[in-house]
Structure 1
Amino acid sequence: MAGSVAKRKDGKWRARYRDDAGKEHSRHFARKVDAQRWLDEVATSQLTGSYVDPAAGRMTFRQFYADWSARQLWVPATRQNAELATRSVPFAETPMKAIRRSHVEAWVMQLSGELAASTIKTRFVVVRSVFRAAVADRVIAADPSTGVVLPRRRRVDAAMRIPTIEDVGRLLSHADSARVSTRKGFRAYVALCAFAGLRMGEAAGAQIGDIDFLRRQLTVTRQLQRDGSTFAVRPPKYGSERVVYLADELVEILSEHVRRHVVSGGPDRWLFMVGEQPMYDNAITWRWRATRQSAGLPKVRLHDLRHFYASGLIASGCDVVTVQRALGHANATTTLNTYSHLWPTAEDRTRKAAGGLMREALKASQGSEPQRNSRSLQ
């Protein structure tokens, strides 16, 4: 870095340097020692790779996000979440270099009175990604979101609601309405969520050709999402493309559903229809609400059926990788973070093993006659 300190006619000292791009920067100081110290700090930052162009941080948070987000390879749902998060910040029009940790903390505090802790974390992660990208691009020297404390989330095991077998049985029995115009055929949809673990959009996106009735398996390759006043066909969540192995009873339900409700069309025919369109979003939501209300289970969410499926796999002895693949999680860490409390602990396994040993010993003791003390016979 080429730099120099020179005295001006007005008595002040001018420190200046040229950056790697050849652009000149300068500042004025009352004392020469201050000018030289500033120049040394700039030189050090350039040597250590932490140098930031003073002009770069003048762009606002909104301007930087607009430029950065345009280059991101996001699926539409991810982009929508990012837009929602960045629109909620009160420092959108603040220059990037002027944003402090206190700004981010005030934003989090504001959200804590409006949203759940999990939603706040989702939005925070997006905003933090923006700041980290700005640091990587040398727009700012440090990430102002570092060290910000988020509201505590409820423990997964406390927040998760898992329907019982009796609950799911009641939901299945109330899913199909006797009224022609309402919920006919919805029972198969509920069964697909409860016994194959599909998400709402994945079940909505199922087509006849996705089901291999001979091999008893379903291929998940798409999901339906709301797009304005209509729907959009999109890939499942990242890493969620998968083959789900179906129980014989579920295959029978799906076969009967196709026979009764899918009267024509090829393999690309939607499995669940409302008129000539696939059933999606609000059409599913109000049918589900009517079903759970009729079943007397108003607090059960549709996503709880996915937890029901996962808990059943775990209770049957399936390992982490098996559950991960069945649910379409991108990695086993996600599965463990969500369902680790359902797997038997070391204490559970110890008690089970000791109980098995004890049962065998007690069984053997029932067939053995107690030996008498030889001295008592004399």
Structure 2
Amino acid sequence: MSVKQRPNGVWRARYRDQNGKEHSKHEKTKKAAQKWLDEQTAAMVTGQWADPTAGRVTWDEWVSRWLTMQVWVPGTTTAAKTAVESVPWRMRAIRDVKHADVQMWVTRESERGLAPSTIRTRLNYVQMAFRAAVDNQVIARNPALRVKTPRQRKREAKMRTLTADQVATALESAGEFRLFVAVCVFAGLRLGEAAGLQVGDIDFERSVIAVRRQVQGTSIPSTRVVPPKAGSEREVFVPAELIDMLRGVGNPTPDAFVFRTVMGHLYNRNSAGEEWRKIRAAVGFDDEVTLHTFRHTFASNLIASGCDVVTVQRALGHSQPSITLNVYSHLWPSAEDKTRTATATFMGEVLATADPVRTPS
């Protein structure tokens, strides 16, 4: 590291990074050159240094490289690509993207009517890409930190759940697809998890279903059996009645899939969705009632029965309790509800004690 004056009077500061590569900058004064050198040195010591030339790559160039580093299932990769390709700075150098750019993108996405939950998801992937750029010394700071997202007002009101009568009606009309619907509503399995269920995943003695895989894809050629979403491997404790229904699957081979189409294929998102749409039309449900509605119904029943957030999280296979709360917090009693109930109970006890000893007038 050094600061030297050039023959033309300009001061040149230079240093070598951890890999031995030399970097330099010219300033009009020695003080300015030394200040820059001190900043670079401090950044290397604190781990905040980034290669000034690396940040010249465009956002598209960086995220293309970043996506190849991931070990995601295809569905996650598709969601990530949708997110990182929705930003307006795709052709700009990644080092030139500022916090204001990210905030403006989020604001405009909200103004054009994108759901708050969708914006949060997209921002999460964008933040991950920037964070990886920092970790790989492409940029020094993550400009997507502390970006404000739109508040989710009454989002939960749009969540559909079904009554016991509606579930019964769906099951009665489901025909050969009845058992598939049953594991969605009575075990809370996602569509892909139900499609990936094997006989060996069912513990008939303990009344437990193990979620060990999922089916991804929207067509027969694209169908793949992959591990569950991160953190979704779990055991679901289910009613004995559901286990009794599953006893009739017929094939005793542990690695046999429980559900297949009439043509013998595994169910994928489109084929399972098509079966459900037939049932939905038959019973008169509107288009907002999907197979995932049964999972919401499963969760709402757990919460209504007094299950705490960790219990619900584990049953649903959410990687963190915060995810469960983000989706279902409106179903738990509020602090006001708890206060009112607790006080009403106490008041009832007080009045019940006071009445017998009250002196008649």
Normalised TM-score (structure 1): 0.81
Which piece of structure 1 moves more, 27-36 or 298-307?
27-36
- The one-character-per-residue Cα deviations of 1:61-90 (angstroms, maximum 9, x if unpaired) are 233233333333434433332223223333
Equivalences for 1:227-246 in 2 at 5 Å? 229-246=221-238
Equivalences for 1:298-309 in 2 at 5 Å? 298=286, 299-309=288-298
Q: Residues 292 and 45 from structure 1, CA distance in 2 versus in 1: closer, same or farther, beyond 3 angstroms?
A: same
Offset, 1:361: 7.8
Residue 136 of structure 1 aligns with which residue?
A: 135
Offset, 1:344: 3.1
Q: In structure 1, what is the Cα distance between the partners aligned to 2:320 and 2:85?
A: 30
Does the CA contact (< 8 Å) of 1:5 and 1:36 recur in 2?
no
Look up the equivalent residue of 1:308 and give its one-letter code.
T
- The one-character-per-residue Cα deviations of 1:311-339 (angstroms, maximum 9, x if unpaired) are 21222222333222222222333323332
User: 2:189 aligned with 1:198, yes or no?
Assistant: yes
Which piece of structure 1 moves more, 289-298 or 29-38?
29-38
Equivalences for 1:349-364 in 2 at 5 Å? 349-353=338-342, 355=344
Which piece of structure 1 moves more, 129-138 or 108-117?
108-117
| Correspondent of 1:332 among 313, 316, 321 | 321
Q: In structure 2, what is the Cα distance between the partners aligned to 1:129 and 1:371?
A: 71
Residue 61 of structure 1 aligns with which residue?
A: 59
Does the CA contact (< 8 Å) of 2:3 and 2:33 recur in 1?
no
Look up the equivalent residue of 1:187 and give its one-letter code.
R
Q: Residues 76 and 337 from structure 1, CA distance in 2 versus in 1: closer, same or farther, beyond 3 angstroms?
A: same
Q: Residues 73 and 280 from structure 1, CA distance in 2 versus in 1: closer, same or farther, beyond 3 angstroms?
A: closer
Q: In structure 2, what is the Cα distance between the partners aligned to 1:115 and 1:354?
A: 42
- The one-character-per-residue Cα deviations of 1:224-274 (angstroms, maximum 9, x if unpaired) are 110763311111112222222222332333334x2xxx5x56232221211
Q: Residues 148 and 330 from structure 1, CA distance in 2 versus in 1: closer, same or farther, beyond 3 angstroms?
A: closer
Normalised TM-score (structure 2): 0.85
Q: In structure 1, what is the Cα distance between the partners aligned to 2:255 and 2:38?
A: 68
| Correspondent of 2:216 among 215, 225, 231 | 225
Q: What's the C-alpha RMSD, in Å, of the aligned pairs? A: 3.1
Does the CA contact (< 8 Å) of 2:80 and 2:122 recur in 1?
yes
Q: In structure 2, what is the Cα distance between the partners aligned to 1:15 and 1:214?
A: 77
| Correspondent of 2:49 among 37, 48, 51 | 51
Does the CA contact (< 8 Å) of 2:14 and 2:25 recur in 1?
no
Q: In structure 2, what is the Cα distance between the partners aligned to 1:348 and 1:310?
A: 20
Residue 12 of structure 2 aligns with which residue?
A: 15
User: 2:172 aligned with 1:173, yes or no?
Assistant: yes
Q: Residues 130 and 164 from structure 1, CA distance in 2 versus in 1: closer, same or farther, beyond 3 angstroms?
A: same
Q: In structure 2, what is the Cα distance between the partners aligned to 1:363 and 1:35?
A: 83
Q: Residues 359 and 94 from structure 1, CA distance in 2 versus in 1: closer, same or farther, beyond 3 angstroms?
A: closer
SS class of match (2:69): coil
Which piece of structure 1 moves more, 285-294 or 224-233?
224-233
Identity over aligned residues, as a percent? 43
SS class of match (1:278): coil
Does the CA contact (< 8 Å) of 1:12 and 1:28 recur in 2?
no
Offset, 1:132: 1.7
Aligned residues: 356
Which piece of structure 1 moves more, 247-256 or 52-61?
247-256
Q: In structure 1, what is the Cα distance between the partners aligned to 2:42 and 2:302?
A: 57
Does the CA contact (< 8 Å) of 1:17 and 1:26 recur in 2?
yes
Q: In structure 2, what is the Cα distance between the partners aligned to 1:47 and 1:210?
A: 51
Does the CA contact (< 8 Å) of 2:15 and 2:37 recur in 1?
no
Residue 99 of structure 2 aligns with which residue?
A: 101
Offset, 1:51: 3.3
User: 2:305 aligned with 1:316, yes or no?
Assistant: yes
Q: In structure 2, what is the Cα distance between the partners aligned to 1:209 and 1:51?
A: 52
Equivalences for 1:240-255 in 2 at 5 Å? 240-255=232-247
Q: Residues 369 and 32 from structure 1, CA distance in 2 versus in 1: closer, same or farther, beyond 3 angstroms?
A: closer
Q: Residues 32 and 281 from structure 1, CA distance in 2 versus in 1: closer, same or farther, beyond 3 angstroms?
A: same
| Correspondent of 1:284 among 268, 272, 276 | 272
Q: In structure 1, what is the Cα distance between the partners aligned to 2:285 and 2:218?
A: 30
Offset, 1:25: 3.1
Q: In structure 2, what is the Cα distance between the partners aligned to 1:50 and 1:168?
A: 55
SS class of match (2:24): strand
Residue 120 of structure 2 aligns with which residue?
A: 121
Does the CA contact (< 8 Å) of 2:218 and 2:268 recur in 1?
no
Q: Residues 320 and 111 from structure 1, CA distance in 2 versus in 1: closer, same or farther, beyond 3 angstroms?
A: closer
Q: In structure 2, what is the Cα distance between the partners aligned to 1:27 and 1:80?
A: 41
Does the CA contact (< 8 Å) of 1:15 and 1:36 recur in 2?
no
